[in-house]
Amino acid sequence: MPAGKFIMSALKKMSSEKIIRLGEWFVPTVGNTIWSITTKHGIGASKFFTLSEEVVRDWGLPQDCLAKAITSARFVETFTFMRGDWERLRSEGRRVYMFMCHKPKSQLPKAVQDYINWGEAECRVRSGVACSETTVCKKRAETRELHGWYDLGGFIPTPIMAIRYPKYHPQFFLVDTPLATYHGIITLIPKVRIRFYNWVFDPSEYEGIISEVNNNVELDEVEVRALLAYLNSSLVWYLLEQNSRRTGDGALVLDINTLKGLPLLNVKAINEGRVEELARLFDELEEKARRLASS
């Protein structure tokens, strides 16, 4: 029996209570802005939307029009992205904010209006088109729920993300603080409650955006780490290799439809000790990855 059929056969024989589909607990999306979640489009005009602290200071932009963010997949070197990683990148002058103003332009401070005007008149993408005139930004300007091309609608935080173009090994990673991100990162938006370190994700707060919310399930940080151990396993990588598309050079591209149907370990239905062991294995994976990244 070919390896793929053998693996799928083995999964089918497992108790249906112990294996669910990823889409039962999570909504895979490209990025986690409201715009990206509802349309499956990237943000467009990244030169306008991603900012360093120096740019924020030069324009005098207020914090309530900014979101702390992962703006490049290259910033994620291991299997976690912690608040300390974000702070280090900020101190290095990297672009670690996303412009996030969900208000009509007329209600924004002058500094913010000036920045938006710059995006319309002077900011250019590589093709030479004004940021506001890119295809994605023009689509956003026509969206009734948003206030203009500059409005991403806010974002939904999640502790589980993945590199969208992982090439030759999986890289699902843990995020320990609410961060926005862009289309180069796949985010797993929870349909279930997650009690994670010092914050609680409650999907019912986003019922207008997330469908089929399941408040009967609550995951803690140990269970999240166990899921990440599973998602970074060779088994999951094999399943993704069989079902995902590839770039011209053969590297894997994560596909949100494939991820929805991915078999996922039901950590609520297996022995607590096994869950803790998986969480410990994830910690070991991260420790080794950090050691290699710093060498």
Q: Which position has the token pair 């996922």?
A: 264
- Residue 229 tokens, joined: 């151990």
- Residue 185 tokens, joined: 């990162």
User: Which of 90, 86, 143, 148 has its CA nearest to residue 116?
Assistant: 148
- What is this structure's pTM? 0.91
* pLDDT tens digits, one per residue of 208-263: 898 888 888 999 999 999 999 999 998 898 888 887 777 767 678 898 999 999 99
Tell me the residue type at 32: N
* pLDDT tens digits, one per residue of 33-79: 999 999 989 998 999 999 999 999 999 999 999 999 999 999 999 99
Predicted pLDDT at 6: 44
Q: What is the DSSP letter of 140?
A: H
* pLDDT tens digits, one per residue of 120-156: 999 999 999 999 999 999 999 999 999 999 999 999 9
